[in-house]
Amino acid sequence: MPVTPPDAGHKVPGQRRPHKKSRSGCQQCKQKKIKCDERKPSCSHCRRLQSTCTYPSTISTSSTATNATIGGPLLSPHQPNIRGGSRSTSTISDGPSVVAQSGLSLEVGNLELLHFYTTTTSFTLSNRTELQQIWQQVVPQIAFTHDFLLHGILALSALHLALSQPERKALLQGEASAHHELGLSKFRIAMSNITPENCDACLAFSTLIAAYAWASSNQAADLFFSDTSTFEEDSQIEWASLLRGVYILLNATFEWMGTSLLKPILFPRPEDPTPPNAEDPVIRDKLTELSQLWVQSPGKFTEVEIQAFNDTVALLQDNCSLVASFSDDRQVDIVTIIYAWPIKVPEVFLSMVKEFRPEALIILAHYSLLLNKAEHVWFVQGMSRRLLQTIHSKIGKEWEGWITWLLQNLVLTEFKQHGAGKSLSSPLGGGFSGL
């Protein structure tokens, strides 16, 4: 009786399933005796494990080869280091690459992000020429020896590029998230053992991560409020607490910062005295009136809390006057100012904010006056509106009168920013009857 051959793909009991052997797989898969998909420059297995992937036909990518190129993981993402040494880095981009005859891979996506950062994004981190040069030139140089900072640069650049290329938004946001997660995990390790060699990189990364938190939050008001206690959720980073923690640690290493390449960012040149006519009398009077929040409630607050209120309002008044003095002849770094205020305010004040005490929330709402001045900055745009919306939802109706004028101020700011073609609307939705 003739034997009917089994159907294709049908496994006969006791018979091994035929398979195609990988003859030209990478050395790592051969050592582990697993099938290699032979993807280049890095196979899926090595990419998943973030390990070196080498093929028999490629030239060894040693640190010597790396140093002979422009350098680092951007040109050879499967390299185990940036400039030789033993520190590891990871491949992030799955975008197009160009494989040179030497076997080194040019990760076009990462090169594009680095180029966009140095030509565009770096100039948005400050409006002062000398600080723009630091962000454009000095910070990338530091990043070539601290890969967590390099990931931070590429993450922020990807979010910024997505604004001008909306057709690639989903892809760029995915790359941004991947770079951010890797950078943040390695940043934590660096912060646990801060040294003169990595303190500059930690400072730069802490600033970039604040911008990233705002840019990735979809304009949510996660300035001082967070639904989580960790940093894992991109849109839930308590960036103010993170910045304060970094600066506290850096203050402990104050002597190192005296010779830091980033010294101008930490210690900007002294400003000339603020011109008296730069002070907005309306803002001055409104901030002065805030003292009624605690003066009219004797016994409700401790002396320490009252002092925290006074110090916070005074600092806000100084910063508002400083920003108002900006002119062509007087350059003021607005981005640094909006970062510096939550760093400098007393910890007691922030504790009252986190407890949702209405008096502290009302004072915090006046931070929108500073945010309004940076509405033109891409990662700050819309944050003032979101902050006021959030605070309005957390205070009772009996407190609304304290922030009505801030809502009016915001609408007028947006009107000036976007032009007469934009209809005025309340940050709380619908028309705004106060105008």
Is this model's pTM higher than 0.75 or not? no
- The model's pLDDT over 238-264, given as tens digits with 9 standing for 90+, comes to 567 767 776 776 676 677 777 788 888
Q: Please report the pLDDT score of residue 93 as a whole number.
A: 45
DSSP string, 380-418: TTTHHHHHHHHHHHHS-GGGGGGTHHHHHHHHHHHHHHH
What mean pLDDT value characterizes the chain? 76
Residue 107 has phi, psi (to 5 degrees) of -80, 95
Angle formed at CA 145 by CA 66 and CA 76, multiple of 5 degrees: 30
| Domain boundaries defined on the chain | 112-266, 276-418
Euclidean distance between CA atoms 425 and 70, whole angstroms? 51
Checking if the pLDDT of 3 tops 90, the result is no
Q: Please report the pLDDT score of residue 98 as a whole number.
A: 53
Q: Please report the pLDDT score of residue 96 as a whole number.
A: 55
Percent of the chain with pLDDT over 90: 34
Checking if the pLDDT of 369 tops 70, the result is yes
Q: Please report the pLDDT score of residue 156 as a whole number.
A: 97
pLDDT: which is higher, 233 or 189: 189
Euclidean distance between CA atoms 199 and 259, whole angstroms? 11
